[in-house]
Chains A and B, each alone.
Chain A
């Protein structure tokens, strides 16, 4: 198994997509800038904490179901 600390970030992002979190929320959680040409991205409020919490929980649940112990 190949492991790098940065891989945890990539794993989190990948899990977000697999768990069905929308692209913009995965990007927000990863602190990525809004893409050029992403005209809808600006409509997603960046400080909607309850929504971000729901997205994070989805990712956590996904990882737990696949064997991560936290």
Chain B
């Protein structure tokens, strides 16, 4: 709960010259999402984004500005891209931008989000639908599978499939 009375407010400003921390901005943004009834799945995505930036949780956002801040953010996105994947990296940066912009509404001294400097991967979802010309072959393999599995231990069968790579070429 933020202090609201005049005395509380002056004390608050004196004790908080650096503005909102990452965690405060994140919580504030999350409250907004809860208020508008965002799904638990969307909120979980933001939680994950925040976890990828966990070491910055108590850093005031203002320290992530300027040339150094922008460079740090850019490098973090690349690092997540290598360790957790491109989609996770971009999602994390979108999360940061979202709660940064929420924080800007309250923290008037806060500048533009450093994610402006991010080189987005913009990875597309995998195209995973079976091609129309593959449907027939898929159907035949499915039929063969059904004949086989009706007389076999399913676990053993899956193990065999992995071995002979029936579903990949």
* Chain A residues at the B interface, C-beta cutoff of 8 Å: 1-4, 6-8, 10-11, 13-14, 18, 63, 66-70
Within 8 Å of chain A (Cβ to Cβ): is B168? yes
Interface residues of B in 138-169 (CB under 8 A from A): 138-140, 142-143, 146, 167-169
Check B135 against A14 for contact (C-beta < 8 Å): no
Kindly state the separation between the CA atoms of A70 and B140 in the bound complex, as whole angstroms: 11
A68-B142, A69-B142, A69-B143 are contacts. A1–B128 as well, Cβ < 8 Å?
no
Chain B interface mostly helix, strand, loop or mixed? helix
Check A3 against B168 for contact (C-beta < 8 Å): yes
What is the CB-to-nearest-CB distance from B169 to chain A, in angstroms, rounded to a whole number? 6
Check A63 against B135 for contact (C-beta < 8 Å): yes
Select A2's contact among B128, B136, B139, B140, beta carbons within 8 Å: B128
Q: Which residues of B contact A18 (CB under 8 A)?
A: 132
Check B135 against A67 for contact (C-beta < 8 Å): yes
Check A67 against B167 for contact (C-beta < 8 Å): no
Check A7 against B128 for contact (C-beta < 8 Å): yes
Interface residues of B in 97-137 (CB under 8 A from A): 126-130, 132, 134-137
Kindly state the separation between the CA atoms of A27 and B78 in the bound complex, as whole angstroms: 35
Kindly state the separation between the CA atoms of A14 and B135 in the bound complex, as whole angstroms: 12
Q: Which residues of B contact A63 (CB under 8 A)?
A: 135
Select A66's contact among B136, B143, B167, beta carbons within 8 Å: B136
Closest residue of chain A to B137, judged by CB?
A: A1
Kindly state the separation between the CA atoms of A11 and B134 in the bound complex, as whole angstroms: 11
Q: Which residues of A contact B128 (CB under 8 A)?
A: 2, 4, 6-7, 10
A1-B167, A2-B168, A3-B167 are contacts. A67–B136 as well, Cβ < 8 Å?
yes
Check A69 against B134 for contact (C-beta < 8 Å): no
What is the CB-to-nearest-CB distance from B89 to chain A, in angstroms, rounded to a whole number? 21
